[in-house]
Amino acid sequence: GNSVTQMEGPVTLSEEAFLTINCTYTATGYPSLFWYVQYPGEGLQLLLKATKADDKGSNKGFEATYRKETTSFHLEKGSVQVSDSAVYFCAYSKIYNQGGKLIFGQGTELSVKP
């Protein structure tokens, strides 16, 4: 069925370390792909998005590339900060025949230590 699989957390890194959070999806067609972030005590916020194959979404130093051939959308950041500590959710949606509902992964908690 349709699903999103993320690498399990928690992920603990030192400040300025390189971050990768893996995400793969199972869906037919050409979904749009998203990373949402949930900071402690706050609601979900869109971090970045990509709407077609080979698109790269980027925001706040984070990047993710839509890889149709591997059905992946891995999140990367070259140098993490303590303020990046949060839970990150990978998600996809299909607009035209599914109303745009989001299918989320289980989330990956990131903890960045000074």
Partner 1 sequence: DTGVSQDPRHKITKRGQNVTFRCDPISEHNRLYWYRQTLGQGPEFLTYFQNEAQLEKSRLLSDRFSAERPKGSFSTLEIQRTEQGDSAMYLCASSLGGSGRVAYNEQFFGPGTRLTVL
What does the binding site for partner 1 look like in residue numbers (CB under 8 A)? 4, 32, 36, 42-46, 49, 51, 89, 91, 93, 95-96, 98-107
Contacts of 45 (CB under 8 A, 6+ apart): 36, 37, 38, 39
Between 23 and 112, CB nearer to partner 1? 23
d(CA 35, CA 37): 7
Q: How far is CA 51 from the centre of its chain?
A: 13
Between 49 and 74, CB nearer to partner 1? 49
CB of 114 to partner 1, least distance (A): 26
CB of 78 to partner 1, least distance (A): 25
Q: Which of 104, 110, 55 is nearest to 80 (CA)?
A: 110
CB of 77 to partner 1, least distance (A): 20
Between 17 and 109, CB nearer to partner 1? 109
Between 71 and 106, CB nearer to partner 1? 106
Q: DSSP letter string over 22-50?
A: -EEEE-SS--EEEEEEE-TTS-EEEEEEE
